[in-house]
Structure 1
Amino acid sequence: MAYHKADAKAMLDDRGYAGKLIRGQNPATLLERAVLDRITDSMYFKEQCFGLNAATLCDRAADLQHIGGTYGTTGKPTPFLCLIFKMLQLVPNDDVILEMLNQPALALADAEEDEDETTETDQSKLGYFKYLRALAAFYIRLAWQPKDIYQTLEPLLADHRKLKRRARENYALTYMDQFIDDLLTKDRVCATSLWKMPTRVALEDLGELEPYESALGDELDEIDRESQNGHDDGEVSENGGDQRDRESGSGGPIGSPKSDGSDGSVRG
């Protein structure tokens, strides 16, 4: 008779592995082996992650209180990291991940009253469960292709909500856009070494991505125009001063003696 075991170490053995693959490799290898051993030995993973599927995992993720990798002197894995490993076990469909990332803010009833605001997609009104969104974003960075990673995560840079991050000895405050920027630019996040993906500039040169348009593009253009106008006004003022000096017959500063050959002294 077969029994289910709350032990995922069998997945760490590549010999005869026949499960789902990510970029042609065992998903478990996307995390460091030392971290994997701590995850599979943790009580949270054995008790709270056993028997989860893509739907029930969302319930666990909605209860998260912080992000982070490992903490304490022994390097215990956070629930956030345990759920990441469980997602690597399940390898959910892309549609499921996108729904986790951009779940509508159904609990925000006041959002329906703001009829005068723009109807365009507002990232601040999506992903009501922010730690569920952070979990999905981290999984996307680990499992998806570079082009899809940039196209999916860059819109989240407009999400400025606060996140609590558990460090080794304490808690720290960060923001969703900072977390997303770390996923796109850094090589190590949440005690996990991220695989090296091509830079955005390289993908733009290959024609896979359009040039990036910053959300602050209009404001930056306005600042440039104001700076240029101020520079032009300075040139006009300087030229006007030179013209007045020439009309007064003096090329020197105001108050200097005229160059008429006299030294301005009184002779006795």
Structure 2
Amino acid sequence: MRKPAFHRADERRFLDERGSSGPLAPNGLNPATIMEKAVRERIVDSYFYKEQCFGVNEADIVDRVVEHVDFIGGVTGTVQKPTPFLCLAFKLLQLAPGDDVVDEYLRHGGDRFKYLRALAVFYVRLTRPDRDVYARLEPFLEDRRKLRRKGKSGTSLTYMDEFVDDLLTKDRVCSTSLWKMRRRDILEDLEILEPRVSPLGTLEDLLEEEEEEEAMQNGDDANGQGHDGDSDSVRSVSRSRSETRPRSRSKSRSRSGSERERSNHDRMDVDEPGTQRSRGGRSP
């Protein structure tokens, strides 16, 4: 009698048989041993993995991310409890989705659900060769959406571009040791990758922009000094005019005083009628 097909609840079978019978990841690593042994055992024994990751497929991963993942991280707390993010990443290692599914996670699903994109870029970094990792992850360095990160020290705020940059530059992310990739400049020298053009421009363009800004600032400062010189000249002219005005007033005052003295002197020289009569009476 033929035995009915069923899904085993014990996920340790994946850890036991994957190394001998299962296919390898595209980068040549064994998916069952990509994460450290202590982390794998905590994931398999966790309540979230047993309840939410049992019997799911690639489409169910989207539902689990939307419902249960609201932060990224590896293990948290003093007991080093694995996060739902890390549990779903381990489930993706077991499902081994193809490139078409991963692209769906990254682009179409990632535009609506940012934690689905974060999970996808983390999975790409774990399983894809270095050429594909750079080609798939670098476009998301322009994603500025906020992410919550939870670790042993607590919850903190990060961004999608920072998380992608950590995956490209660091050796350990989310309590997982990342396999060592070749640097990008080495891949460029080997003509495996084309040189990346940053949205900010090349270093020469940035230096030219800084020089232009400095030249504009120096020109503005020179123009400001010219205006100050003009104002100083205007002030000196106004001062000279104010100094000459009191002198003209003193001259006018002196002239008016001399005219008054002359008029009085003329009046004293002219004989009045009374004086002529008196003189006439005194004459013999």
Give the letter aligned to residue 52 of structure 2: Q
Q: Are 1:11 and 1:17, in contact at CA under 8 Å, matched by a contact in 2?
A: no
Separation in 1, partners of 2:167, 2:17: 27
Select 1:158's aligned residue among 126, 138, 142.
142
Aligned to 1:74: 79
Separation in 2, partners of 1:220, 1:195: 34
Separation in 2, partners of 1:45, 1:77: 9
Aligned to 1:28: 32
Asked if residue 9 in structure 1 is aligned to residue 9 in structure 2, the reply is: no
Q: Summarize deviations over 1:172-194 as a string: whole Å, max 9, x none.
A: 10000000000000000000000
Q: Secondary structure at the match of 2:50?
A: helix
Please state how far the C-alpha of 1:221 moved relative to its aligned partner.
2.0
Select 2:92's aligned residue among 70, 87, 95.
87
Q: Secondary structure at the match of 2:21?
A: coil
Q: Are 1:54 and 1:92, in contact at CA under 8 Å, matched by a contact in 2?
A: yes
Q: Are 2:19 and 2:32, in contact at CA under 8 Å, matched by a contact in 1?
A: no
Asked if residue 37 in structure 1 is aligned to residue 32 in structure 2, the reply is: no
Q: Normalised by the size of structure 1, how large is the TM-score? A: 0.74
Q: CA RMSD in A?
A: 2.6
Q: Summarize deviations over 1:11-32 as a string: whole Å, max 9, x none.
A: 2225873223113442011100
Separation in 2, partners of 1:211, 1:101: 23
Separation in 2, partners of 1:151, 1:5: 37
Give the letter aligned to residue 59 of structure 2: A
Please state how far the C-alpha of 1:7 moved relative to its aligned partner.
2.2
Q: Quickly say closer, same or farther: Cα 1:14–1:182, change in 2 above 3 A.
A: same
Pick 1 or 2: higher relative contact order, CA cutoff 8 A, min separation 6. 1
Q: Are 1:14 and 1:26, in contact at CA under 8 Å, matched by a contact in 2?
A: no
Q: Are 1:20 and 1:91, in contact at CA under 8 Å, matched by a contact in 2?
A: no
Please state how far the C-alpha of 1:168 moved relative to its aligned partner.
1.1
Q: Summarize deviations over 1:52-79 as a string: whole Å, max 9, x none.
A: 1011111111221000000011111000
- Give the share of equivalent positions with the same residue, in percent: 53
Separation in 2, partners of 1:193, 1:100: 23
Separation in 2, partners of 1:65, 1:52: 19
Separation in 2, partners of 1:179, 1:153: 10
Q: Secondary structure at the match of 1:127?
A: helix
Q: Quickly say closer, same or farther: Cα 1:19–1:228, change in 2 above 3 A.
A: same
Select 1:206's aligned residue among 190, 202, 217.
190
Q: Quickly say closer, same or farther: Cα 1:21–1:15, change in 2 above 3 A.
A: closer
Q: Normalised by the size of structure 2, how large is the TM-score? A: 0.70
Separation in 2, partners of 1:215, 1:20: 39
Separation in 2, partners of 1:46, 1:28: 17
Deviates more, 1:19-28 or 1:199-208: 19-28
Q: Secondary structure at the match of 1:44?
A: helix
Bigger helix fraction: 2
Separation in 1, partners of 2:204, 2:163: 23
Q: Are 1:187 and 1:193, in contact at CA under 8 Å, matched by a contact in 2?
A: yes
Aligned to 1:141: 125
Q: Quickly say closer, same or farther: Cα 1:221–1:95, change in 2 above 3 A.
A: same
Separation in 1, partners of 2:34, 2:190: 26
Instruction: Give aligned pairs, total.
Output: 216
Q: Secondary structure at the match of 1:164?
A: strand
Separation in 1, partners of 2:202, 2:31: 41
Q: Quickly say closer, same or farther: Cα 1:229–1:103, change in 2 above 3 A.
A: closer
Separation in 2, partners of 1:165, 1:173: 6
Please state how far the C-alpha of 1:228 moved relative to its aligned partner.
5.4
The residue correspondences of 1:153-232 to structure 2 (distance < 5 A) are 153-217=137-201, 221=205, 224-227=208-211, 230=214
Please state how far the C-alpha of 1:158 moved relative to its aligned partner.
0.4
Please state how far the C-alpha of 1:218 moved relative to its aligned partner.
7.2
